[in-house]
Structure 1
Amino acid sequence: MPILEPTYKPPFYFRNGFVSTVYSGLIRRVSIKQERERITLKDGDFLDLDWSFSKEKTDKLIILLHGLEGNGQRPYMTGTAKLFNKNGIDAVSVNFRGCSGEDNLNYYSYHSGATEDLEAVIEHAISVKKYSKIYLKGISLGANIILKYLGERNNVPSQVNAAIAVSVPCYLTGSAKALHTPKNKLYHDRFLKHLVDKLKVKQNRFPELLTDDALDSIKTLTDFDNVYTAKAHGFEDALDYYVRCSSLQFLPNIKTPSLIINALNDSFLSPECYPVKEAKSNSNLYLEMPDYGGHAGFIDKKNVYYNEKRALEFTKSIDLK
């Protein structure tokens, strides 16, 4: 598809990518009533799902996936859920394994390419909850999972009508390098602290799988992926994980209408994360590249973000086809 022309025009003081990213991650608040459901996965582990509902009964559902070390209460999740609920669509915010406030049961957890849990949630929504129209929306890591899920399978359920991927690091190698640059040190160190703190909890439960020396060797996010992510999830090392799990390679095979919104001033993204060639050659792939927005920081009027409005507009446009 042709590249879409963005209409996003934030207030002047939010045109700075750092400001919009930090404000959206640390200051924004969205109030919404959620109901938690725990589902058991095929491997015996669990996922916690946070549901919010339209006032009217509906057969439509949006499934929301968060970013690295996020959860179902992050404003970029609840903001989308609230907007869709107001427009007659139920929402379920998925907490990845270990992200709902309780460590998951297994040593392995979640990562940028772990699409099996999304598949389980979709199956649950169709077979148990009986939704007949499903939309997917992910932020950052969650967006990469969605695009990879759609592109690596030829049997995506027909109930999945559309997808929206926001601030998606679809080329993980490039994004990993970007996160290790001085301009992203604040984000890098914050992510690393959360991840290592959680890994210490796992070490207490699985001391035979993680030695003190291995834990002490983790100084960067790449170290974390070498020591834990790769070994726990069957990859050779961090680079192998990045290469195999980047959604960029799966974009040509996507058959579900999918909208990618990546801001040009997103410091987490490398040049490869703007898949112009792939969008132009796949009629199901739509790409918007606003000048502003930082990383998931598309601040707009009345506390409803631009990417949330575009997600709703996109799903409605697909439904009309």
Structure 2
Amino acid sequence: MPKWTRQRLNTPDGDFIDVDWRKDEIDLSPERPLVILFHGLEGSSSSHYAQAFAHETHQRGWHMAVPHFRGCSGEINWAPRAYHSGDFEEVGWILSRIREQHRGPLYAVGISLGGNALMRWAGEMGQTATKYVDAIASVCSPIDLTASGKAIDAGINKWLYARMFLGTMKPRAMEKLKQFPGLFNPHTLMAAKSLYEFDQVFTAPLHGFKNTDDYWARASAKPGLSRVQVSALVLNACNDPFIPASSLPALNQVSAWVKLCQPEAGGHVGFASGTFPGDLQEMPWAVTDWMSQHG
């Protein structure tokens, strides 16, 4: 298990972002590469993929940091907002702050929700992105939020996964309501049975979207992949239960800077190898190896 040391960044709107650094950073040269990992929905530095990347970066002698989206570091954030799949302004602010601290190569990896936000940022920034990062990667990211949202809210996914996500998202939303009474209707939120309904009550209105449909359409990274001008890897397994293979981008929908990797198997942030339950190091190794060649 990796050990982390925490840094708190104060945001321009009077809130904070907690960044966990792998604890052995102090022994590494500041010129060594740094991997910044943006976690997925309800994720953190404790997520299995963060631990796998921590192991891989340690093996390579690289630095690593995990910024927590607001409310995901174990302490409720102070502002009347949370985080969302298209939070590219937040991603950009975090990258700019960490770029100020680091002299060596800087790579950014986004897992699931974090990958969509990262790719959304790259599409917005164009060539300017290279001022902050040397290469980026999204892993199992729902870059077409409408397609993925419908997939999670349907069939067995709704019973297994949507219910699991809502089990943590609803209590956090209710904590936010205690901070800011009247922010949303608690009865409507607690009655939500799908991510669509939750986003309609909470995520969309708190972050400047008209409704869930507007949020899912405007926050999706897929339309902006043709504008990306920094080395980028977009990795999606075709059997990901959250992301229909039919919604994945084709070569004619991305810029020449974007490398598409769409293996048949891997599930959602799995890519296990070996005998059951499997070794989860293959994916972090492949991503960091690609970055070392393209950054």
Q: TM (normalized to structure 2)?
A: 0.92
Q: Equivalent residue for 1:46?
A: 16
1:101 aligns with 2:74: yes
Inter-CA distance 173–196: structure 2 relative to 1 (3 Å threshold): same
CA distance in 1, matches of 2:178, 2:190: 14
Q: Equivalent residue for 1:145?
A: 117
1:125 aligns with 2:98: yes
SS of the aligned residue for 1:153 comes to helix
1:259 aligns with 2:233: yes
Quick check: 2:28–2:63 contact (8 Å CA) kept in 1? no
SS of the aligned residue for 1:160 comes to coil
1:33 aligns with 2:9: no
1:316 aligns with 2:286: no
Aligned residues: 287
CA distance in 2, matches of 1:315, 1:233: 32
CA distance in 1, matches of 2:131, 2:146: 32
1:307 aligns with 2:277: no
Higher relative contact order by CA 8 Å / sep ≥ 6: 1 or 2?
Answer: 1
Q: Deviations over 1:65-96 (max 9, x none)?
A: 11111111111012112211221210001111
1:241 aligns with 2:210: no
1:206 aligns with 2:206: no
CA distance in 1, matches of 2:248, 2:262: 8
Q: Write out aligned runs for 1:1-12 (5 A).
A: none
Q: TM (normalized to structure 1)?
A: 0.85
Quick check: 1:147–1:247 contact (8 Å CA) kept in 2? yes
SS of the aligned residue for 1:39 comes to strand
SS of the aligned residue for 2:36 comes to strand
CA distance in 1, matches of 2:247, 2:28: 39
1:283 aligns with 2:256: yes
Quick check: 2:273–2:280 contact (8 Å CA) kept in 1? yes
Quick check: 2:251–2:260 contact (8 Å CA) kept in 1? no
Q: Equivalent residue for 1:166?
A: 139
Q: Equivalent residue for 1:232?
A: 206
Q: Deviations over 1:82-129 (max 9, x none)?
A: 2112212100011110001111101211000011222122112122x1
Identity of aligned residues (%): 32
Q: CA deviation at 1:272?
A: 4.5
Report the AA paired with residue 39 of structure 1. Answer: L
Aligned CA RMSD, in angstroms, stands at 1.6
Report the AA paired with residue 310 of structure 1. Answer: A
CA distance in 2, matches of 1:44, 1:225: 24
SS of the aligned residue for 1:213 comes to helix
Report the AA paired with residue 120 of structure 2. Answer: K
CA distance in 2, matches of 1:40, 1:256: 28
CA distance in 2, matches of 1:73, 1:175: 24
SS of the aligned residue for 1:312 comes to helix
1:215 aligns with 2:189: yes
SS of the aligned residue for 2:214 comes to helix
Comparing 146-155 with 302-311, which one deviates more in the overlay?
302-311
CA distance in 2, matches of 1:66, 1:208: 29
Which residues of structure 2 form unaligned runs of 5+? none
Inter-CA distance 205–86: structure 2 relative to 1 (3 Å threshold): same
Report the AA paired with residue 182 of structure 2. Answer: E
Report the AA paired with residue 230 of structure 1. Answer: A
